[in-house]
Homo-oligomer: A and B are copies of this chain.
């Protein structure tokens, strides 16, 4: 038995798309045996794979280290098989719309009676209760409905979506968190609970800063400000054009302003009353920005970063996704690794879990499963079915 935190745990994973699969991916990387249960044709996200493939990058990234089986939950035999597996599992995770599992006869109340020890985790867009529970939820629509989208973009333009589907991933991290809390309780009491995460609620705390500016402005909603701080209340605080791209620079303390002046070779301005405090710089916003741009526009990202780092000024190059994917830091830490994948003609980068448990064995990456790849292992070895049973279920469209 390995020394990973979740070794010995078996998780039934009925989730699709991003939120659920991200949570169960981290479970698998923490040592759990995650059994991904897909409809016989594969989960919905598979349908968006390139022609002739089972895998897109999200499938590959979010389903590594899982075992994959097929099961038709609309058939009576399929439901029966799920109930048999639930008897032996430690937890079940699903992200169907509210009520779907109940209508199928395999909801929490039924499964809890079969196995009171099993934790049941539900992930939805808006929750299992409340007036909006049936709203269709995807990352994009939750970005809109939650208020976060309204804070991104320019004052004279529309609210802007964040290109990276962070609401899905945020929901997935919360789902893992809720499930793990349920498993801890199970370890203490022997009983598993229904735990629940709604994406709309997982994203709400992201509003904290903008809500703060709302209250400071006398309960007035700040206009969108592009890359500037809400209500332009801080300077410098922006994405600045460099000679070869962009850099993000933000100042939090006055010491940092003096340090930035030194980094820019502009200590001649250290006593200039226009820039002597954040309040002064906000009042002289354009002049402040001009000073910073005067330096960054003619300096490379690397030189800007080296100078600000030495001066302890918060700054980062804006990196593209190829730079991120090749990041020597994350590759060096073992977080990212190059992997040969059966659905790609060249090596791709996969991530290990962002949860790091010092002193445990690394869980070596195994590829996202083919649809139904582990039917024999799970149904045969774990549930004790014969090859003839499996062939029959296959012929009937149950698996």
Contact = CB atoms under 8 A, between A and B. Distances in A.
A177 B121 CA distance: 14
B158 A160 contact: no
A163 B230 contact: yes
A357 interface: yes
A388 interface: no
Given A148-B164, A159-B239, A164-B207, A212 B320 contact: no
Given A170-B173, A321-B147, A354-B198, A208 B158 contact: no
A134 to B, nearest CB: 8
Contact of A319 (B56, B144, B163, B201): B144
Contacts of A184: 5-6, 180, 183-184, 187
Interface string A263-290: 0000000000000000000000000000
A159 B152 CA distance: 12
A73 interface: no
Give chain A's interface secondary structure class: mixed
Contact of A57 (B158, B208, B225, B248): B208
Identical chains bound together, number: 2
A152 B174 contact: no
Nearest to A126: B329
A136 B314 contact: yes
A145 interface: yes
Given A173-B170, A239-B144, A248 B319 contact: no
Contact of A62 (B30, B58, B137, B208): B208
A360 to B, nearest CB: 7
A90 B177 CA distance: 18
Interface in A312-348: 312-325, 328-330, 332-333, 335-336, 344, 348
A201 B5 contact: no
A221 interface: yes
Contacts of A314: 136-138, 140-141
Contacts of A200: 329-330
B195 A159 contact: no
14 contacts: A58-B209, A61-B208, A127-B329, A136-B315, A141-B250, A141-B314, A147-B321, A152-B152, A153-B160, A159-B246, A180-B181, A194-B359, A197-B354, A204-B354
- 9 closest A-B pairs by beta carbon, nearest first, are A151-B163, A147-B324, A164-B206, A57-B212, A144-B248, A141-B316, A173-B173, A180-B180, A132-B329
Given A61-B211, A147-B323, A197-B355, 12 more contacts: A5-B184, A6-B184, A57-B212, A135-B316, A137-B314, A158-B241, A160-B239, A163-B230, A164-B209, A173-B173, A211-B325, A215-B344
Interface of A: 5-6, 18, 22, 26, 30, 50, 56-58, 61-62, 126-127, 129-133, 135-138, 140-153, 158-166, 169-170, 172-174, 176-178, 180-185, 187-188, 193-198, 200-212, 214-216, 221, 224-227, 230, 237, 239, 241, 246-248, 250, 252, 309, 312-325, 328-330, 332-333, 335-336, 344, 348, 351, 354-360
